[in-house]
Structure 1
Amino acid sequence: MTALPTASEPTLYEIDDEFLVPDRGDEQEGPANAVPAGDPDEAVRLFHEYRRRVAEILGFEEELPEPATEEDLDAAEERLGFALPPDLRALYGVADGDGDDVINSVFDGHPWHPLDELGDEEEDWLLVLDWEYEPQRRVVFDSEPSNAVRRSVLRPGWIPFADDTGGNWLAVDMDPGPEGRPGQVIAIGVDYSDGPLHVADSVTTLLRRQVEALERGDYRVHDKSIWIDADLPNGLAVDRERSWYTDAASVGAETGQARPRVQKVRVSDVADLAFLAAIPNVRSLSLSGGGPLDLSPLRDRPVEYLELELGAADLAGLAGHPELRSLSVSAAQPVDLAPLRAVPRLWALDIADASIADLTAVTELEGLRFLELTREQWLELRDDLPPLAVVGIHPHRPEREWPLGTRWNAESGEPPR
């Protein structure tokens, strides 16, 4: 029998190895406009124009591979399970990717994959979804434009066609969100685990921006290489725009400014939730302070992950919250968990650093699949819990610092009962 964790070993028990973090993208509708935005003839014209201009600037023209055949394209689409957008398909009719010798790829410096590598990507970066990396604390955020891209980390309908050689890819999205278009270009990979980046509504538009940058002179040349500033969306800038970290001393002065793009918020020394008036789209929220707080204003916000580090926590305001999926509570004074019975989507709960008034309330959370708690709490609850997929057990009450996180020892199977 597996032993309970020792004093130095928080242990994560993966009971159901088929359970994955629920994919929010699966809950979204498909595109209102299912017609691709790209134009195959225009894409081919822009492709040749790009190559002509780059050759003029550098003084030489790079040789491309032979075109892919229609048979090759049909076979690739059958393998992928999705039709390629017409503009990208047309480009493969010009050349089968960049080849091995091209220095300056047309796709924002991302080497263009040949057909036989289309859709391939190294999946080591998907380790961020492993339970040791605590995906229950991560929210996949909405794209900009809103609802253009499904809120997933990876989907079968996202077909990588170029990469940055650093664990990120450009992909055509053949399974877009309600405000997206099939064939839109997105960035996915290790730098986009909080959500894909919408790059352009089509490969055609991506090419057009590259050509327009060359026309403006927005480029730099070094030796045989050219760097083009096509003013494309930047993942780091997007992340800064959607994150807001502040404290009670500053929050009053800052809340006068509407922040519709902000989706991730941390407020320390918080006294109330008045700041939410300026943040209609917050999805990940971390609050620390003395408490207790009136949490009822959260019911009007799409918060999916809530982190409370309070001296006293009153969860009554969370009852009926329609979107909350994951909750972490740290509190010195006893917390009543009963209101969580009325949080219909809650599947993850962390109470390891909380005094709980009545632990039996946990046994009544029928949708719970992930539970993090102390050894003492586990011993009290273990015989009456709902069917859990993952249990994290701390040998003693952890000392928490933001951002929360635990160095887990992972094991398969149920904790000992």
Structure 2
Amino acid sequence: MVEQAVRPIVEAIVAKAPNGWTHAVLHGRAGRGGTGVTGGYGRHEENWNTGLPNPYEELMALAERLREDRGWEPVSLEIRCRPSGEYRLVAFDDAISRVTGMSSGFQVVLDPDYRLPQPGRHQEPGTGAPAGDPELAVARFRAYLERRAAILGHSEELPPPVTAASIEEAERRLGRRLPPDLRALYLIADGDGIGYENRYLFQGNAWLSLESMVAERTEWGAGERPWYGWDLEWEAVVFDAAPADTVRRCGGHPGWLRFGSSEDGNFLAVDTAPARDGRPGQIIRTGRDYDEGPTYVADSITSLLGHYLELLDQGAYEKDGDHIHLLEPDHDPAPQQLIGGDVPAEVPPTLQAIHINNVTGLVDLAPLTAAPNLRRLHLNRSTAADLSPVRELPVESLRVTLTTGDLTPLEAHPHLTSLDLTTTGPADITPLRTVPHLRGLDLSGADVPNLPVLAGLPDLRYLSLTARQWTTLLNEAKVPPTLTAAHLAEANATLDDALAWAARLGLDTDNALRLSGTLKTVDG
């Protein structure tokens, strides 16, 4: 029974309680993926005390019981208990979850299958011809192996080649044709691994076998990037690669075929779906560390092999046992992102993101017009008086504290997708009705007298408000018609509060579990 499963968790909370505690709250999430716990103990002499235990096995057992009884996977739960031994469990499925950090409260997901669109999916496609040359690529690859053999003192064993039929079958499974120069290399060798040993021919990257390349694509979900949850994704931005407009602005794309692995979650890929100024078959770096956008490497495998040969000719390498590390020349890339401080005196034209932190006085945004590709502008614990410079910039994610509450500079802004607004006075949000791509909005720090305007926003997917703001909106207007996820920005809200709020948003919460009991304590 659920009651039997929850009691060991309460016992663990009571056992770890500090002297003088008056109550304890555990917010948890548990399922097959593991557990996570936040919360703490309340005491008379101080507001809050952390140190709450994370009884992993007990929480997993409770999650298993709720999965069997209710079909919830994972489960969100809240346990409140007192020194008297009284406790109360509230549980529901993960459509409602606790959010911690600066934006603590609760999040509800109304449509778990919806994902925000990647900007690169709608970019103008490239029309250029491939830069690769299969014959030249083969010649360079053989020359590359010969020079490596001269350095190592022996030839490197590689797997036997694949057949043309095998490549065609792999292409069928991939749904894309390999660039001709990469295709030609697989007719020489099926990657660079023998058993568990790789030669790492592509600058520290293991060259994947054809079968591993297909398997990687299958495991990767046809090129889709991981989804990290609405609390992180609603204001996410994907940057442009350099050179601009060569690679689509995506965290992942079905046209990116991973052929080289650095074995840390990052990959070399051939891009079969380039942006306007790119070339099919160009080489990019993507993976775990590139959710904010890929890096452009070369226009083709052919060119990349030519670059490797140049480095060997220059002696730009190190030999480590049976491996060769190519040494790229030092260079200071133009900054794409600045974090901390005020707007710099000289704004780099390459800037795509800036985080302005802890500035005393008003921040002048006008110098940022020198960055024509600025996409993220976040003022953290900093205040501006005028948003006019933003009108001229392709800012997609804007976080700002305003003294005036004047949003007219954002009217019909063609790029803005997310706005996190704090104000020191009333703000008229009427101009937001005209922002065509606004999908995420946090007004929990703003004084907004006309909240019902939100019901008319055409494509709003995420909205964060305080409990009072939500009550005003829901009493006076309807939920925005396309709302997919919402945030209740109340640090002290209970799961019961969140369930009542989510029900008003349209989520069926009738089967929420509520259970009370009392432990036999030492004092009892």
Do they fold alike, i.e. is TM over 0.5? Answer: yes
Q: 5+ unaligned residues in a row in structure 1: which ranges?
A: 399-407
Corresponding residue pairs, total = 396
> Please, what is the CA RMSD of the aligned residues?
2.9
CA distance in 2, matches of 1:263, 1:130: 22
Letter in 2 for 1:384: K
Question: Is the Cα contact below 8 Å between 1:169 and 1:188 reproduced in 2?
Answer: yes
Cα distance in 2 for residues equivalent to 1:412 and 1:206? 56
Q: Which residue of 1 aligns with 2:353?
A: 264
**Structure 1 residues 143 and 290 mapped into 2: Cα distance closer, same or farther (>3 Å)?**
closer
Equivalent-residue separation in structure 2 for 1:276 and 1:109 (angstroms): 38
Which digits, 9 at most, give the CA deviation of each residue in 1:271-322, with x for residues without a partner? 3222123211100011356755221221211111101134553212111211
- Tell me how far apart the structure 1 counterparts of residues 500 and 142 of structure 2 sit (CA, whole Å): 57
CA distance in structure 1 between the aligned counterparts of 2:126 and 2:110, rounded to whole angstroms: 36
Change in CA separation of 1:170 and 1:133 when aligned onto 2, cut-off 3 Å: farther
Mapped to 1, the partners of 2:267 and 2:172 lie a distance apart of 21
Q: Return the letter of the residue paired with 2:396.
A: E
Q: Contact conserved, 2:369 with 2:389, CA < 8 A, in 1?
A: no
Which residue does the alignment assign to 1:48? Answer: 142
User: Displacement of 1:344 after TM fit?
Assistant: 1.3
2:336 to 226, 236, 242: 242
Q: Is the Cα–Cα contact under 8 Å of residues 299 and 320 in structure 1 kept in the other structure?
A: no
The one of 441, 444, 447 equivalent to 1:352 is 444
Counting only pairs closer than 5 Å after superposition, residues 13-412 of structure 1 correspond to structure 2 as: 13-33=108-128, 35-100=129-194, 102-119=197-214, 120=216, 123=220, 129-132=227-230, 134-231=232-329, 241-245=335-339, 247-248=341-342, 251=344, 253-255=345-347, 259-268=348-357, 269=359, 270-288=362-380, 291=383, 293-382=385-474, 384-387=478-481, 388-396=483-491
Q: Which residue of 1 aligns with 2:503?
A: 416
| Structure with bigger gyration radius | 2
How many Å separate the matches in 2 of 1:397 and 1:347?
A: 27
Shift of 1:218: 0.1
Distance in 2 (CA, whole Å) between partners of 1:365 and 1:182 is 39
Query: How far does the alpha carbon of each residue in 1:117-171 deviate from its partner, in whole angstroms, 9 at most, with x for none?
Result: 2141554997752325511222101111100000011111110001100000111
Distance 1:219 1:320, change over 3 A: same
Change (3 A) 1:414 1:41: farther
Q: Is the 8 A contact 2:365 2:384 kept in 1?
A: no
8 Å contact from structure 2 (residues 99, 106) kept in 1: no
CA gap of 1:57–1:373, structure 2 versus 1, over 3 A, is same
Are the structure 2 counterparts of residues 310 and 100 from structure 1 closer, same or farther at C-alpha, using a change threshold of 3 Å?
farther
**Residues 153 and 193, structure 1, Cα contact 8 Å, conserved in 2:** yes
Equivalent residues of 1:40, 1:90 under 8 A apart: yes
Determine which structure has the larger strand proportion and give its number.
2
Q: Which moved more, 1:121-130 or 1:17-26?
A: 121-130
Number of the residue aligned with 1:403 = none
> Cα–Cα, structure 1 residues 128 and 69, in superposed 2: closer, same or farther, change >3 Å?
closer
- Higher deviation after alignment, 388-397 or 273-282: 388-397
Whether the 8 Å contact between 1:66 and 1:94 is mirrored in structure 2 is: yes
Query: Partners of 1:215 and 1:151 in 2: how far apart?
Result: 35
Change (3 A) 1:222 1:290: closer
Seen in structure 2, the aligned counterparts of structure 1 residues 326 and 18 have a Cα distance that, compared at 3 Å, is same
Greater RCO, CA 8 A, separation 6+:
1
Rounded to whole Å, the distance in 1 between the matches of 2:306 and 2:242 is: 20
What TM-score comes out, normalization by structure 1 length? 0.87
Secondary structure in structure 2 of the residue aligned to 1:415: helix
2:98 and 2:158 map into 1 onto residues whose CA distance is: 60
Unaligned runs of 5+ in 2: 1-90, 505-524
TM-score by length of 2: 0.70
- CA gap of 1:385–1:378, structure 2 versus 1, over 3 A, is same
> d(CA) in 2 for partners of 1:314 and 1:288?
19
Contact conserved, 2:317 with 2:324, CA < 8 A, in 1? yes
CA distance in 2, matches of 1:272, 1:368: 29
Q: How many angstroms apart in 2 are the aligned matches of 1:281 and 1:64?
A: 44
**Cα drift, residue 335 of structure 1:** 2.0
Q: CA deviation at 1:69?
A: 0.3
